[in-house]
Every structure is written in structure tokens, then in C-alpha cells.
Structure 1
Amino acid sequence: MNPKISDFGMARIFGVDQTQGNTKKIVGTYGYMAPEYAMHGQFSVKSDAYSFGVLLLEIISGKKNSSFIQTQGATDLVSYVSMKFCSLQ
């Protein structure tokens, strides 16, 4: 048995031996979805890594992904961290 980090909706989409696929029915929490899944319905085991990365960013930054508003210059935590990281260079 291989654990899947994504929410239960994604776990239902994957078959037992499936590592990637495509779907027209998008399920899950949008803030944790990989962009290729949210926009095009393409998913893979890498989608789990993206979701886990967002979770790690929440823990490290102390900010919730869902708490961003347009006035902060970013619409989500990933954009916010990317913007801050680029400003350091």
C-alpha cells in the first residue's frame, strides 16, 4: 500500500497501479492542488509532492494558504513565498 498525501478526493481518482492520469472532475481543496491538476485535470504522484510542499510552507511561514488577499500582492502562499524569495536576490 502506498500512502497518498493529497485529500481523499484525489485518492479515489487514482487506480491501484496508476501513477498519472487525467480527469474532467476536479475535486479537492484548491489551495493545495498542483496547478496542472487545478487548471487541466492532469494529475500524477508529483501532485502529492506539491500538496506536501504547500503544507510545509504553511508550517515554516506560520501563514495559512487560504488567508491571502489581493492587497498583500499575492493571491496564495506559494506566490507570496516566491515573491519574497525573488526580492532577496
Structure 2
Amino acid sequence: APGYISRSVAGSYDNEAIAITLLMAAFYFWIKASKEGSMFWASLAAGFYFYMVSAWGGYVFITNLIPLHVFILILMGRYTHRLYTAYSTWYAIGT
């Protein structure tokens, strides 16, 4: 019903429009940082994460997903100095 769409995800335009864009940017730069071990990309990921935290209350999901990603990579035996550099930079700047 059209009356309900304003309160659904499809119709909610409070902060989600900017938050989803920032979420995708943070994830994109996080993946680049973890693959390359670049402090620059990790800093960009942290910057977009920080901006997302200030714009959206659902930031807790991201705070938990990036460490979960790192933990799963460690369990899979894919821990490298690049991952350490990326996560340390992201954590120091973003949280």
C-alpha cells in the first residue's frame, strides 16, 4: 500500500541515501587497502567510515563487519603484513 512505503527501506530518505553511498565507499577502499596493504587506501576507508558514523545510526554494522572480515581472513590462513597495515591504519584513524 502506498501509505506504508514512506516507512519502508524503499521509501525512507532520512539519512540512508548518504549512508549507503558512504558505506559502499568505505567497503571499496577497505578492500583496496587490504589487498594492497596501502595506508593511503586504509586512511580513505577510515575517512569515509568516520563520515558515515556521523551521518547514520547504523554504523555499528560496519564497525563489526570489517573486524569480522579480518578475523575470517586470519582463520583462512590469509594473514599478511598488508592486512595488518590496512587494519591497523583503519582502526587507528576510524575508531
Tell me whether the two structures share a fold, i.e. TM-score over 0.5: no
Say which structure is richer in helix: 2
By percentage of residues, which structure has more strand? Answer: 1
Question: What TM-score do you get using the length of structure 1 for normalisation?
Answer: 0.29
